[in-house]
Chain A
């Protein structure tokens, strides 16, 4: 499957505080913090010239699964996101390669409503696919 890393997903318990630290590392916030009520997360992107963008993800308080991930692992990267031309075809391709889907492709408000889906494989962890258009 032709794909390229579009961003790194980074779990945080406080987006604003994490942004402050990344700014000291040369990153800049891109756009506003977005509330994704479907995924029950607050999201924000940060970028630095020549670096892969980072998507900061702060789970809502009632998102108990991700709050547990935070308790267990602390703040840090937790998924890679790959841009794909045809997300529906890529979804089927991933299934055929024995990746475990988290959910079917859905529109993501933080990504201009481009469709996303997540997969898991024990050897790799979580990856996200996002439609390039």
Chain B
């Protein structure tokens, strides 16, 4: 799957899960520091939603290495 398609789906997921008023326009470098609603608890909710959307399962060791949305997209691509 192309990265642009993954980002498109992630934008929707972030908007839904974090209850944002508008699309977050995620980039490769976006991190939790850039989105106020993205805290440690909502991070879990995002992961659950992402796994469900893409029908994949991440390991904890993968997840804790992520520093940005770009890292998450890499993990998603590796599993598709």
Contact = CB atoms under 8 A, between A and B. Distances in A.
Given A64-B19, A68-B19, A102 B41 contact: yes
Interface string A53-97: 000000000001110110000000000000000000000000100
A120 B19 CA distance: 21
Given A68-B19, A122-B48, A98 B37 contact: no
A65 B41 contact: yes
A67 to B, nearest CB: 9
B60 A103 contact: no
Interface of B: 19, 37, 39-45, 47-48, 51, 59-61, 63-64
Contacts of B44: 100, 102, 120, 126
- Mostly, the B contact residues are helix
B40 A95 contact: no
Interface of A: 64-66, 68-69, 95, 98-103, 120, 122, 126
Contacts of A66: 41
Given A65-B39, A65-B42, A103-B40, 16 more contacts: A64-B19, A64-B42, A66-B41, A68-B19, A68-B42, A69-B41, A95-B60, A99-B60, A100-B47, A101-B60, A101-B64, A102-B41, A102-B43, A102-B44, A122-B48, A122-B51
